[in-house]
Amino acid sequence: MSEGLTLGSGAFAPDPVTHIEEAGAASVSEHHTPADAKALTMRVASITLVAETIRAIELVSADGSPLPPFSAGAHINLKLPGDLSRSYSLTNGPETTDRYIVAVNRDAASRGGSAYIAEQLKVGDVLPVDPPHNTFPLVDDAETSAFFAGGIGITPMLAMIRRLESLGKPWKLFYAARNRSSAAFVAELEALDAAAPGRVHFHFDDVEGKVMPLLKLAVGIPKAAHVYCCGPSRMIETFKASAGWRPEDNVHVEHFAGTNAKPTSDFTVALKRQGKEFFVKAGESIMDVLEANGVPVAHSCREGVCGTCETVVLEGECDHKDNVLSTREKDSNKLIMICCSGAKSGRLVLDL
Ligand code: FES
């Protein structure tokens, strides 16, 4: 999700406008959160340093009302001052229903989100938060599961591991970081490993003198396993290369960064419920055009990685540019990320 990622397997993502993935076969109903879902008003209950530059932020309902449930792998969008919206994966398991906990890495090249959280956000602050949205769902009835995390990519996987622990399901984690002090939740992961040794494999680049040998490690994971990766782009590419022999539905990826792509041809976008039509030129995004015409749309990353702008397609053929939808979902032509994707057909009708 964002801010130019150029790191090794263990490096931390810049300001992680969180994680997105190419999950297997999620349907529209599983994936789609209405873009006009009402924001929650949440209070910061605690801020805890969990690595040298990573803070865990615990959020509770500001008025005590129940929080919407979520599934492991979900993220929330924090609405920050300056019209900033940043998405972060929930690290707590879905059994914890009275709070949301995210972990935020302070990125040296922050565009504002992580810098604000590291330097200005304080306990007691109240802020709007979009309800949980899951573009990286855990398959919790899998025979076994394996997770490959790089840096801050551990966050959605921690929620998944907690879920599997609650179900008594087997799992393995391979977690890469530059060094021990930059890795988050180490003590908790070590405690999980102590309870059933062999489940957690740490890889610290400074100790090993190289990036995590993902290709080699992945060979030992059974074909029936569901495998997940969240980390820097190079790690994800290696992971994909390691998983070519696995069933497509068993392979799940969440990206930090978008593709910076925009529609490459002109088309007309029609908003069926609003009865409006607009012309989108090559190089513009649907989102740009809608906003220029006074149509508000939900957004966060604006680069096809957070899933916030996910919109149902009613007619027309999409030209997908995002890093959110799986190949199967893209082929189904039912959803589009309007911040980056365009149309192969001359007209696209959206459920807006
Ligand atoms: S705003 Fe993040 S995917 Fe479109």
Pocket test for ligand 1, best of 309, 323, 352 (most atoms within 8 A of CB): 309
Q: What pLDDT score does 5 carry?
A: 25
> 166 CA to middle of ligand 1, Å?
32
Structural domain spans, the chain? 3-129, 145-255, 267-350
Strands 226-230 and 145-150 come out as: parallel
* Plot region of 38 (φ>0 → left; ψ -120 to 50 → alpha; else → beta): beta
> 79 CA to middle of ligand 1, Å?
14
Pocket test for ligand 1, best of 136, 255, 303 (most atoms within 8 A of CB): 303
> 83 CA to middle of ligand 1, Å?
15
> 323 CA to middle of ligand 1, Å?
9
Question: Is the domain covering 267-350 a CATH 3.10.20.30 domain?
Answer: yes
Q: What pLDDT score does 37 carry?
A: 64
- Six-digit token pair at 89? 């994966």
Which is the closest atom of ligand 1 to the Cα of 17? 2
CATH code given to domain 145-255? 3.40.50.80
Q: What pLDDT score does 257 carry?
A: 74
Strands 100-105 and 54-61 come out as: antiparallel
CA dist list (Å): 103 to 24, 58, 172: 25, 9, 21
Which is the closest atom of ligand 1 to the Cα of 87? 2
Fold of 3-129: Elongation Factor Tu (Ef-tu); domain 3 (2.40.30)
Question: Cα separation of 199 and 194, whole Å?
Answer: 9
Q: What pLDDT score does 83 carry?
A: 83
Which strands, in side-by-side order, build the sheet including 276-280? 276-280, 267-271, 347-350, 310-315, 335-337
| Residues in Cβ contact with 275 at an 8 Å cutoff, skipping those fewer than 6 apart | none
| Same fold yes or no, 3-129 and 145-255 | no
Q: What pLDDT score does 36 carry?
A: 52
Per-block mean pLDDT, blocks of 10 residues, the chain (352 long): 29 36 36 63 97 96 95 94 90 96 88 89 96 94 97 96 97 97 97 97 96 94 97 93 94 84 93 96 95 90 88 96 90 95 96 96
Measure the N-to-C terminal CA separation of the chain; round to a whole number of Å.
Answer: 25
Closest CA to 269 of 301, 299, 292: 292
Q: What pLDDT score does 244 carry?
A: 93
Pocket test for ligand 1, best of 89, 260, 290, 306 (most atoms within 8 A of CB): 306
Q: What pLDDT score does 306 carry?
A: 86
Ligand 1 residue neighbourhood (C-beta within 6 Å) = 299-302, 304-309, 322, 324, 337, 339
